[in-house]
Chains A and B, each alone.
Chain A
Amino acid sequence: MTDYSTIDFSSLAELSADEVVTHSYVRDIPLPSGKVLALITLDNDRDHTRPSTLGPNSLLEYGATLDALAVRASAGEIHAVAVTGKPYILAAGADLSKVGDIPNRELAKQMAQLGHFTFGKMATIGVPTFAFINGLALGGGVEVALAADYRTIDSSIPALALPEVFLGIIPGWGGAYLLPNLIGIENALKVVVENPLKNNRTLKGQQAFDLGIADAIFPPASYLEQSLVWADGVLTGRVTVSRPNAPGKLERLVKWDAAISIARKMLESKIGTVAASPYAALDLLKAAKSGSAEEGFAREDDVLADLISGDQFRASIYSFNLVQKRAKRPAGAPDKALAKPVTKVGVIGAGLMASQFALLFVRRLRVPVVITDLDQARVDKGLAYIRDEITALKDKGRIGADEANRLSALVSGTTNKADFADADWVIEAVFEELGVKQDVFADVEKYISDTAVLATNTSSLSVEEIGAKLAHPERLVGFHFFNPVAVMPLIEVVNTPATDESTLSTAMVIAAKLRKNAVITRDTPGFVVNRILAKLLGEAMHAVDTGTPFEVVDNALKPFGLPMTPFELLELVGLKVGAHVLDTHHAAFPDRFFESTNLHRLAEHGKIFDRDSKGAIKGFDKKAVKIVTDGGPGGTALTEADLLRRVEDGLADEIKRMLDDEVVHAPEDIDLCLILGAGYPFQMGGATPYLDRVGASERVFGDTFHHPPIVGTD
C-alpha cells in the first residue's frame, strides 16, 4: 500500500504558489444533544462568481485542519466533524488552471496522491464524519463529500457532477472506487461515464439524493440547520441511515461485470475507442467491485498520472477553455453598444428551415416574428408547424400556458412583404441559389427601413454577392446555422467587406440572445465548418473514386475519434447536400478540393449503408458498393495509413491557408467551430492540437499551429 505520509508534496505546493487558496475554517457547533460538532467551511474568500477550487495548497490546509481535529477528537472535545462550503458552493473540484501546468508524470501522480492523502484523513479522524453538500459540487468537490461517513444535500444545488471523463481524466481522488461502492455500479456508470459524455450533464440535488449519493435532503431555507439536527440524530442513534442503492453480494457477483461490459459495448459503438478516459474509468469502476479502498486509490493514482501527463487531457483542457471562455468572448466582436435593437423579426420563407428559425427567434427574443412565402398555403403550413412546436413545448412542461399563448400570439404569417416594414431583423431561408437570394433581398428592401439588418443563412454562397442588388449592402451579414437549428450551438457570422460594424454587432448580440455561440468568419467559400468537412469528405470520396473500398476509408479516420465516420456523416447531412458541398468547394478551389460524380450517383440511389429496421448499420449497401466500383478503379487504392496521412496533411494545409487568409482570427476559432458545429472531440482539441501532435503541421508547413504545441508531458 502507498504510505502517503512519506511523500514530499512541497514541489507540488511550490508549483501552485499563486493558487487562489480555499481555506478550511472551523467553528464548533453545539448540537441539541449537547454533543459538539466541528464544522469545516471551505471558502476561498471570494464571492460565488469564483467557486472554491482545490489546488495543492488548499488540500494541504484542509489536511492540516483534519489532523488538528483528529487530535481534538481523541481528546474528547468534539464528537463529530462535518465539512460544507461557502454559500452556493461546496467545491468545484481541482484547480484546472493548475492541473494543466503540471510538468511531468511524477508530479501528476503526486496530485492524485495528495487528494487521497488529504481526503483519507476523514476516515481516521476518530469520530463520525459528515459532508453537507450545500451547493455546487464538481469532481474533487464531490470526492470531498464521498470521503465522509454521511452526507446531506441541499435540494436547490445548481449541479453535482463528476465531469472528469468529459475533460479526459477520471475521478481520481476516490470517486472511481467510492461511488460504485456507495450507489451501485449502474448508478456510478451513469455519474462517472454516461453523464460526462452527454455534453457534461450534471445532477440536481434531488437526483443526486435519489441515486444514493446523499443520505438526506433538505430545502435551502434551513438546509444547514436541518443538516445539523440530522447529524445529531445520527450521533445519538435517533436517525438510522439506510442505503438501498449500496451494492450487495448479488450485485457484485452478477450485475457488476455485466454492467461494465454493456457500458463498454455502448461506448465503443457510440464514440469509438480513441478517447482514453472513458475506458480508463470503466476499468477502474470494474476493479472497484472487490479489494480495499487503499488498493482502489492506488489504482486511481496511476491512471490519473497517466492521463494528466498525456496528450488527450491537454487537448481537452484546451477545448474546455475554448468552449467556456473564448466562445463567450468571440474574437473580433465589435462593441455590443453598436448593436441595433431588434423588436420585430421577419423570416423570408415558410419551409422547415424558416419555421425553425421563426420558432427559435420567438422563443429567445420574444418579439413579433413574421414569416412570409409565395402563397398563403405555404405560410399556413409554416405557422401550423410553429404553433404545434409551441404546444409541444407546453405539453412537455418546458413552458407554461401563458408563455405558450404569448409566443403563439407573437408569430404571424403574410404573403405581403409590406408587413416587414417595421422589422429590425430580416433573415432569409430560401432556396440555396444566388439569383433567388439576390432577388428576394432586393425585393424586401423596398418595404423595410434603411437600417433594418438583413441576414442570410447561406452555407455555400458568397454573402457579398447575395447583397449585390441591395441599395444598402452594409446591413447584410451572413448568419449560418447548423442543423438541427434548435440543438446545434454554433452560428458562423459572416462579415463581408461591405458589412458595417453595427450590423456585425447586431448579429453577435442576436446570436447570444439565441443562446448560440457565434464565431466571426470572412466571406470565403464554406466559411469554416463546411470547408473543413468538404476537405475531409472530398478526400474520403476521392479515395473511393480511385478504388479504395468504403471499409478502408471509414476505418482510416478512426484515430481521430470523430463522432461518426465520413460516410455516416454524408448520410446524415444528405447525400445530395454533400455532393453539392463538394461541388461548390471544388469550384472555388479546384486544385485542392475534389468533386465526386460517384457521390452524385450515390445520391440518386439514396444510401450508402445497409441498415436494419431500427436504423442500425449492418454493413455497406450492396448497390452503393456496385455504383462506386462499376466504372472500375480510376486509380490506385489507398491503405488506411496512406489515407489517414493524406487527410491529416490536407487538413493541416487547408487550416494553415485559412489562417493565412484570415478567415478567422486564430486556430482557436477553427477548433471552436469544429467542436461546436461538427462535434469534433475534446481529446482532439478540435483539429489543430491533434494535427500538431501527429506531426502533420510539421510535415506540411514546417511549424506547429500552437507554440508550444498542446501535448502531454512524457
Chain B
Amino acid sequence: MAEIAEVVFVDGVRTPFGRAGEKGMYWQTRADDLVVKAIIGLLERNPSVPKERIDEVAIAATTQQGDQGLTLGRTAALLAGLPQSVPGFAIDRMCAGAMTSVTTLGSGIGFGAYDLAIAGGVEHMGRHPMGFNADPNPRFLAEKLVSEEALNMGSTAERIHDRFPSLTKERSDRYALRSQQKVAAAYEAGKIQPDLIPVATRSASGWGLATRDEAPRPETTMEGLSGLRTPFRPHGRVTAGNSSGLNDGATACLLASGATAKELGLTTKMKLVSFAFAGVEPEIMGIGPVPSTEKALRKAGLSITDIGLFELNEAFAVQVLSFLDHFGIDDDDPRVNEYGGAIAIGHPLASSGVRLMNQLARQFEEHPEVRYGLTAMCIGLGQGGTVIWENPHYNKKAKAAKR
C-alpha cells in the first residue's frame, strides 16, 4: 500500500528570462534546450541526488508543438542525460503549467508513488506566440459560452478595471513601477542570481551567455508609464508597462518525499501544505487566484492572516491588485512579491509557477518568523491556482527580531 508522505521542495532553478522575438536573446535557442539546461543545472546543484532514483519528470508548456512538443518531460529527461529508466510527461494548464507540474508530482509524492521528481515548465513565446495555431471550438462563440474578449488576456484585464472602479490605472501603474524597482533592488542585493542557470546563446554576432533577465526596465518612471498606449481598448488602462511581457524561459525544481530528502541529505526549502485550482468567468480570468486561494486556505485549515509571504504572478498589475483588495492587503504590503514580479522579470507562461516558488523559498530562508507562504497565479480561460507552503526555517522566537 502506498503511504501518505510529506512533500518537500528541495530546490528550484530557472534560466534567465528573455524577451520574446527576433531581438530577444533566445531567438536562436530551442525551447527544449532551455528546459534541458535548467534540469542539468538543477541536478548539478544537487549532486547527491541519484539520477536513477528520479521517479518522474513533468514539464509544462502551453503550446505543445515543435520544440515544445513530443512529450516534453520525457524528451527533456533524455536530453538532460537522465537514465532511460526515468519516465516523463508533458503538462498544460496555460500560465499555471509549471505550478501544475509541481502539484501533480507533489500529489504523487504525497500518495507515495514517487520519492523524487522533477517538475518544471518552459515557454518560448518568440517561437510559439500565445494561441498560435489554436482552433477554438466555434460553439464557444455561437452559444455565447464565452465572449470573444475572453481569449484576449489584455481584454480580460481591462474587464477587471470595469468591475472594480476603485482599481484605477494610476494604482496599476504605481504597482508596476514598484515591481520594477523591487526587481532592480533584488538584483542589486543578489537575491535573484543564485537561482539562475546561465545559458549559452547563439546570435549573428557569435556566442553569448545569458546570465540575467532581459526584460526588467529599472529606468521606469510614473511619467513614462502614464504615457504608454493602451493596446486593448482606446483610452483603456492596461498597458505594456503595467502587464507582464512576452518572454522566453524555463524553470525546473526538485521535489521529494520528506523521508527521501532526509535519507539523501537533501535541502528542504519548503514543505507543501495544500493547493487548489478554481474556475471563474473566462472574461475576467485575472481574479482566478481569489477563489483558488480561498479553497487552498480552507483545505489547509488556515486563514489569510496566517500567510506571511505572498508570491503572486503579475500577469497584470490590476489582477494582483484585485487579489490584494479582496483580502484586504495594501498595494505596497511588504509581504507581497518582495523581489518584484513578472511585470519586470517577465512571464514565459508555463514556466512561471516554479519561479514564484524559487523566490518564496529564498524569502523563507530570510524570514524565519514566517510560517506559511503562498504562490498564486491567474490562468487563461478563467482559472486561478494557489499553492500554500510551510517554511522549514520557521522559528517562533524570530518573530520580533525580523519584523
Contact = CB atoms under 8 A, between A and B. Distances in A.
Interface of A: 25-27, 29-30, 39-41, 43, 45, 84, 86-87, 219, 221-225, 228
Contact of A219 (B81, B202, B205): B81
B209 interface: yes
Interface string B203-244: 111111101000000000000000000000000000000000
B232 to A, nearest CB: 37
A222 B209 contact: no
A276 to B, nearest CB: 39
A221 B79 contact: yes
B198 interface: yes
A86 B41 CA distance: 23
B81 A41 contact: no
A27 B25 CA distance: 13
B26 to A, nearest CB: 14
B205 A225 contact: no
Given A221-B36, A222-B200, A228-B209, 19 more contacts: A26-B206, A27-B203, A27-B206, A27-B207, A41-B205, A41-B206, A84-B207, A87-B202, A221-B37, A221-B79, A222-B37, A223-B200, A224-B200, A224-B209, A225-B37, A225-B198, A225-B209, A228-B198, A228-B200
A219 B203 CA distance: 22
A27 B208 contact: yes
A84 B206 CA distance: 9
Which of B36, B41, B79, B202 counts the most A-chain CB atoms under 10 A from its CB?
Answer: B202
Contact of B205 (A25, A222, A224): A25
B40 interface: yes
Interface residues of B, number: 21
Interface string B174-207: 0000000000000000000000011110111111
Contact of A225 (B80, B199, B202): B199
A27 B199 CA distance: 14
A221 B206 contact: no
A228 B211 CA distance: 12
B193 to A, nearest CB: 9
A43 B81 contact: no
A221 B207 contact: no
B81 A221 contact: yes
12 contacts: A27-B203, A27-B208, A40-B206, A219-B81, A221-B33, A221-B36, A221-B79, A222-B200, A225-B197, A225-B209, A228-B198, A228-B200
B80 A221 contact: yes
A27 B207 CA distance: 7
A25 B206 contact: yes
Given A221-B40, A222-B41, A225-B37, A27 B205 contact: yes
Nearest to A39: B207
A221 B43 CA distance: 13
Contacts of B197: 225
B391 to A, nearest CB: 29
A222 B33 CA distance: 9
B40 A224 contact: no
Contacts of A43: 206
Nearest to A85: B207
A228 B40 CA distance: 16
A68 to B, nearest CB: 14
A43 B81 CA distance: 28
B384 to A, nearest CB: 35
Contacts of B81: 219, 221
Nearest to A222: B40
A225 B200 contact: yes
A29 B208 contact: yes
A41 B41 CA distance: 24
A29 B80 CA distance: 24
Contacts of A224: 200, 207, 209
A224 B199 CA distance: 9
Contacts of B80: 221
B84 to A, nearest CB: 14
Contacts of B204: 25, 45
A416 to B, nearest CB: 45
A222 B39 CA distance: 11
A86 B204 CA distance: 10
Given A221-B79, A221-B81, A225-B37, A41 B207 contact: yes
Nearest to B208: A27
B85 to A, nearest CB: 18
Interface in B281-315: none
Contacts of A225: 37, 197-200, 209
Contacts of A222: 37, 40-41, 200
A343 to B, nearest CB: 31
A33 to B, nearest CB: 12
Nearest to B44: A222
Contacts of B79: 221
Interface in B63-82: 79-81
A45 B202 CA distance: 12
B266 to A, nearest CB: 22
Contacts of A30: 209, 211
Ranked 4 nearest A-B pairs via Cβ:
A25-B206, A41-B206, A224-B200, A27-B208
A408 B36 CA distance: 39
Contacts of B198: 225, 228
A242 B206 CA distance: 30
A219 B197 CA distance: 16
A25 to B, nearest CB: 3
Contacts of A86: 202
Which of B200, B205, B208 counts the most A-chain CB atoms under 10 A from its CB?
Answer: B200
Given A221-B80, A222-B41, A39 B36 contact: no
A188 B41 CA distance: 36
Contacts of B211: 30
Contacts of B36: 221
Nearest to B203: A27
A27 B79 CA distance: 27
B213 to A, nearest CB: 14
Given A221-B36, A221-B40, A222-B41, A39 B199 contact: no
Contacts of A40: 206
B286 to A, nearest CB: 37
A26 B205 CA distance: 7
Contacts of A87: 202
Interface string B384-403: 00000000000000000000
Nearest to A28: B208
A11 B344 CA distance: 55
Nearest to B36: A221
Nearest to B211: A30
Nearest to A24: B206
A87 B207 CA distance: 10
Contacts of A27: 203, 205-208
A223 B33 CA distance: 12
Contacts of B40: 221-222
A691 B125 CA distance: 64
A40 to B, nearest CB: 7
Interface in B242-296: none
Which of A26, A86, A225, A228 counts the most B-chain CB atoms under 10 A from its CB?
Answer: A225
A41 B198 CA distance: 18
A223 B209 CA distance: 12
Interface in B17-69: 33, 36-37, 40-41
A219 B37 CA distance: 12
A86 B200 CA distance: 12
B57 to A, nearest CB: 15
A24 to B, nearest CB: 8
Which of B80, B197, B203, B209 counts the most A-chain CB atoms under 10 A from its CB?
Answer: B209
A218 to B, nearest CB: 11
B130 to A, nearest CB: 28
Which of B36, B198, B204 counts the most A-chain CB atoms under 10 A from its CB?
Answer: B198
Which of A25, A26, A40, A87 counts the most B-chain CB atoms under 10 A from its CB?
Answer: A25
Contacts of B200: 222-225, 228
A78 to B, nearest CB: 14
